[in-house]
C-alpha cells in the first residue's frame, strides 16, 4: 500500500414567532439590499420556536429553518460580518431597535486591497458588540487563503434577472414542504427568492465551507465552496436535519480564479441526476429547486447562460475538509472537526459502527471505519447501476458516503469497463474499472489525515503530549505503527463491504431470492462480459430480463421444474433493438447467440433456487430495475430546449423531473408530451449509436 504517515504533524502555527400571519409584520424578517430583500444579524441566534399558522398545521420554509450547526460549532476565518443596516428602508426597520450606532457596511474598505493587522481587526461600539471595521460586502467575494477556520461568511451575488423554474416533488416531500403553498405569491413565503439567491433569512448569516483536496492524485491546496453559499438547516420528515445551499450563487473566499457561476447545462444535469440517484436508492446529496439566471452569462467554451441549484444534504463535509487541516498542520482544528463529525454529523459515538482492534478502539477509529464502510457501499451501488461521477477527487468524496458535486458524470448506456464520462481524464483515473480503487485511494488519504488520532489509540489519544504536539521518537513510532494497522484494517473492511454490497445489489437486479459466494464469478462476471461484447443497453437489459418467462409451460402454467425447456435464442432477440449495430460489426444472430449463452447460465442459477418462480423473481427485481434512466443525451436535449426558448417553456424539464422522481412507475409520469416520453424511453425503433456514451468536460 502506497502511503506515508507524517512523522511530524506539527506545521506552521495557525492565526488566530413565529412570524405574525399579517403581512404588515412578517416583512420585518427581511432587510433590503440593493434591488433584492435580504436580512442579516450581528450574531447567529436561535430562532423563536416554530408554531403553526392559525389556519393550517403546515409550517413554511421561512418558519422552520434553523441556524446551521456547522457555524455554531466550528470557527470562521473572520468575525460575523456587521450587518448593512444602512440598506434597511425605514418601513422595514425592526420596531424598538436603535440604528444610530450601526456601522455603514458599504463604507468599510481595505486600504490598498490588503488585509489589515489582525490585532486591529475589530472595535467596540455601543452595546458592547464587535464588528470588523475593515469588512465590506465586496470582501466577502474576494478570493483568499484562510489562515484558520472551517468556513468564511459569504452572500449571494446580485444578478440582473431570476426566473424560478421548478422544484423536485420528492425533495419537497422529504423536507415536509408544500409546493402549492410555497409557490403561491399571496402567501409571502419568499420561497423562490430565497432558493434563487435573491433574499436571505434573518438570524443566520450565509457561509461557504473551506476544504482542500487531491485532484487527479496531486494535492491542490485550499479549494472550498467556490460558488456555493450555505443558507441554513431544515428538519426533514424523519427528523433528520439537512443543510440547504445554493450552487452558482456567486464568488466566495474560495473562488480562486473562477467566476462563482454555474451554467444552465451543469445545473440542470445536477438537479436531475441527484434526484434520480435518490429515487433508485443510491445515497446522494439532493436537489430542491432550480432557478435560471437568464441575463447572467459565464464564459466557458462560449458565453453560456447561468442558473442556481438549491441543494441539500445531511452534511457537506468531505475527505478534503480533513486534507485542509492536515496541510495547515492544525492539530487542534483537525480534532475539533473530527469531534464535530462524530457528534453532529453521525449523531454520536454510539451511532458509529463497531471496530474490533487489539487494545480497544477510540471514537476516531470508529469514525474512520464508518466513513470507509459508507463509501464502500455507495461505490458498489454506483458500479451496479453504471453511474460514474467522473471526478472522484478527495474534495468530491463525502464523509457520509454520498454522491456529491456532479460535474462530468454519466450513467453508462452500454457496459464498458474502460469508459470515463470525463473528456479530460486522459489517464482514465476515474473510469469505471478504476473507480473502486480510486475511492479507496481517497480514503487512504483520509487515514493519513487522521493519522495521529487513529494512531494514538485509547492510551494516548488524550495525552497532553499529543494535544500539544510534544511527541518524542518513541511515541511517534507507536502512533505511526498503529495508524498503519488501522488503515490496513480499513482496507479489508472496504473490500469486504464493497463486494458484499456489489453482489447483493446485482442479486436484487437479477431477481435472486438470495446470493451465493460464487455468484460473482459464476453469474455476474459472465453477464458483464456478455454485455461488454454485445454492447446492448446496460440498464434496459435488467428490465427485459425481469420479464422473460423461464418457468411457464406452453399452457401458461408456471413451474420451477428443472426439466422445463426454454428457447434461449428466441428470448435473446428481445434484448436487441431494431436496426441495432455494435462496433464489432456482429450480426443479430451472433449477438443473440452470446446473450443466449448467458441466459442458459442464468436459468440454471434460477433452477438452483428451488422456490424460485417468474412471479417471485419479478417481485424482487422490479424495485431495483428502473424503467427509465436519464441518459446524457436526454439531459442534453432538455438543456438545449431550455436554451433555445430562454427557459420560457419548461415543459420538457418538468416532464423529465416526473420521470426521474418515479423511474419505476410509468403511471406517475403523466400524459403530457407522449412523443417525447417515447423517445426518451429509447424503445429501439430507430437505433442511433452516436448518442450513447457521451463525454463532457469539467467546465461547468
**Which of 238, 220, 203, 201 shows the shortest CA–CA distance to 45?**
203
The answer for 96, left when phi > 0, alpha when psi is -120 to 50, beta otherwise, is: left
Helix (H, G, I), strand (E, B) or coil at 595: helix
Give the relative orientation of helices 632-644 and 651-661 as an angle to the nearest 10 degrees.
Answer: 150
Rounded Cα distance between 350 and 304, Å, is: 48
As a whole number of angstroms, the distance between CA 594 and CA 585 comes to 14
CB proximity list for 650: less than 8 A, separation 6 or greater: 165, 166, 642
Neighbours of 66 (CB within 10 A): 16
Three cell numbers, residue 321 = 475538509
Alpha-carbon distance of 504 to 514, in angstroms, equals: 8
In which element (H, E) is residue 539 found?
A: helix 538-546
Tell me which residue of 302, 309, 230 sits closest to 267, measured CA to CA: 309
C-alpha cell of residue 14 = 495557525
Cα separation, 422 vs 406, in Å, equals 11
Torsion from C-alpha of 576, 579, 580, 586, nearest 10 degrees = 100
Query: What separation in angstroms does the CA of 30 have from each of 96, 363, 450?
Result: 16, 42, 42
**DSSP secondary structure code for residue 626 in this structure:** -
Record the cell numbers describing residue 208, joined without a space: 461557504
Q: Which residue among the candidates 63, 259, 365, 395 is catalytic per the annotation?
A: 395
Residue ranges in 406-537 assigned as alpha helix (H): 435-449, 451-460, 464-468, 473-509, 519, 525-534
Asked if 395 is an active-site residue, the reply is yes
Whether the Cβ atoms of residue 211 and residue 323 lie closer than 8 Å to each other = yes
Here the cell at position 586 is 456482429
According to DSSP, the β-strands at 163-167 and 228-235 are: unpaired
Question: Residue 140 and residue 608: Cα distance in Å, rounded?
Answer: 65
As to burial, measured by CB atoms within 10 angstroms (0-12 exposed, 13-18 middle, 19+ buried), residue 60 is buried
Give dist(CA 9, CA 189) in Å, integer.
Answer: 49
The residues that are catalytic are: 395
Amino acid at each position: 500500500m502506497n502511503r506515508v504517515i507524517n512523522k511530524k504533524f506539527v506545521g506552521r502555527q495557525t492565526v488566530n414567532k413565529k412570524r405574525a400571519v399579517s403581512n404588515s409584520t412578517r416583512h420585518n424578517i427581511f432587510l433590503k439590499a440593493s434591488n433584492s430583500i435580504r436580512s442579516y444579524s450581528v450574531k447567529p441566534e436561535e430562532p423563536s420556536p416554530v408554531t403553526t399558522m392559525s389556519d393550517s398545521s403546515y409550517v413554511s420554509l421561512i418558519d422552520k429553518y434553523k441556524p446551521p450547526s456547522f457555524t455554531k460549532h466550528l470557527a470562521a476565518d473572520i468575525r460575523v460580518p456587521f450587518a448593512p443596516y444602512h440598506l434597511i428602508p425605514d418601513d422595514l426597520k425592526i420596531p424598538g431597535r436603535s440604528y444610530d450606532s450601526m456601522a455603514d457596511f458599504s463604507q468599510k474598505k481595505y486600504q490598498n486591497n490588503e488585509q489589515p493587522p489582525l490585532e486591529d481587526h475589530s472595535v467596540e461600539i455601543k452595546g458592547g458588540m464587535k464588528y470588523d471595521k475593515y469588512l465590506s460586502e465586496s470582501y466577502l467575494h474576494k478570493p483568499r487563503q484562510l489562515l484558520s477556520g472551517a468556513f468564511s461568511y459569504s452572500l449571494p451575488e446580485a444578478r440582473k434577472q431570476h426566473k424560478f423554474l421548478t422544484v423536485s416533488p420528492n425533495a419537497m416531500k422529504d423536507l415536509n414542504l408544500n409546493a402549492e403553498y410555497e409557490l403561491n405569491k399571496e402567501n409571502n413565503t419568499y420561497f423562490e427568492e430565497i432558493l434563487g439567491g435573491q433574499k436571505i433569512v434573518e438570524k443566520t448569516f450565509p457561509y461557504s465551507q473551506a476544504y482542500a483536496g487531491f485532484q487527479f492524485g496531486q494535492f491542490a491546496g485550499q479549494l472550498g465552496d467556490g460558488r456555493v453559499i450555505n443558507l441554513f438547516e431544515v428538519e426533514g420528515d424523519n427528523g433528520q436535519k439537512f443543510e440547504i445551499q445554493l450552487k452558482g450563487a456567486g464568488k466566495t473566499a474560495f473562488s480562486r480564479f473562477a467566476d462563482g457561476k454555474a451554467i444552465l447545462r451543469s445545473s440542470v444535469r445536477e438537479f436531475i441526476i441527484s434526484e434520480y440517484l435518490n429515487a433508485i436508492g443510491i445515497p446522494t446529496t439532493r436537489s430542491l429547486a432550480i432557478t435560471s439566471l437568464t441575463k447572467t452569462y459565464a464564459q466557458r467554451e462560449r458565453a453560456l447562460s447561468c442558473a442556481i441549484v438549491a441543494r441539500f444534504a445531511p452534511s457537506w463535509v468531505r475527505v478534503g475538509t480533513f486534507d485542509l487541516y492536515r496541510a495547515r498542520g492544525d492539530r487542534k482544528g483537525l480534532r475539533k472537526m473530527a469531534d464535530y463529525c462524530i457528534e453532529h454529523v453521525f449523531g454520536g459515538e454510539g451511532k458509529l459502527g463497531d471496530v474490533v482492534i487489539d487494545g480497544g478502539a477510540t471514537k476516531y477509529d470508529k469514525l474512520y471505519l464508518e466513513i470507509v464502510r459508507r463509501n464502500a457501499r455507495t461505490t458498489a451501488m454506483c458500479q451496479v447501476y453504471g453511474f460514474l461521477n467522473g471526478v472522484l477527487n478527495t474534495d468530491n468524496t463525502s464523509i457520509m458516503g454520498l454522491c456529491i458535486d456532479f460535474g462530468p458524470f454519466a450513467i453508462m448506456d452500454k457496459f464498458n469497463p474502460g469508459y470515463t464520462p470525463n473528456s479530460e481524464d486522459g489517464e482514465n483515473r476515474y473510469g469505471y474499472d478504476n473507480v473502486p480503487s480510486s475511492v479507496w485511494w481517497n480514503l487512504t488519504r483520509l487515514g493519513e489525515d487522521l493519522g495521529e488520532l487513529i494512531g494514538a489509540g485509547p492510551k494516548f489519544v488524550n495525552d497532553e503530549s499529543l494535544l500539544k504536539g510534544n511527541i518524542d521518537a518513541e511515541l511517534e513510532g507507536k502512533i505511526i505503527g498503529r495508524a498503519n494497522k488501522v488503515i490496513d484494517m480499513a482496507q479489508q473492511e472496504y473490500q469486504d463491504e464493497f463486494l458484499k454490497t456489489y453482489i447483493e445489489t446485482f442479486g436484487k437486479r437479477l431477481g435472486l431470492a438470495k446470493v451465493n459466494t460464487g455468484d460473482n464469478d459464476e453469474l455476474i462476471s459472465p453477464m458483464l462480459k456478455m454485455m461488454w461484447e454485445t454492447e446492448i443497453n446496460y440498464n434496459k437489459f435488467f428490465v427485459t430480463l425481469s420479464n422473460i418467462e423461464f418457468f411457464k409451460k406452453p399452457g401458461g402454467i408456471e413451474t420451477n421444474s428443472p426439466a422445463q425447456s426454454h428457447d434461449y435464442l428466441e428470448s435473446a432477440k428481445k434484448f436487441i433493438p431494431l436496426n441495432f449495430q455494435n462496433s464489432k460489426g456482429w450480426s443479430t444472430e451472433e449477438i443473440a447467440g452470446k446473450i443466449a449463452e448467458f441466459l442458459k447460465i442464468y436459468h440454471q442459477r434460477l433452477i438452483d433456487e428451488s422456490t424460485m418462480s417468474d412471479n417471485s423473481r419479478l417481485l424482487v427485481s422490479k424495485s431495483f430495475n428502473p424503467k427509465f434512466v436519464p441518459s446524457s443525451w436526454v439531459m442534453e436535449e432538455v438543456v438545449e430546449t431550455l436554451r433555445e426558448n430562454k427557459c420560457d417553456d419548461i415543459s420538457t424539464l418538468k416532464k423529465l423531473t416526473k420521470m426521474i422522481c418515479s423511474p419505476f412507475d410509468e403511471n406517475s409520469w403523466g400524459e403530457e408530451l407522449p412523443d417525447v416520453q417515447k423517445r426518451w424511453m429509447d424503445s429501439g425503433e430507430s437505433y442511433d449509436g452516436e448518442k450513447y456514451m457521451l463525454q463532457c468536460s469539467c467546465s461547468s
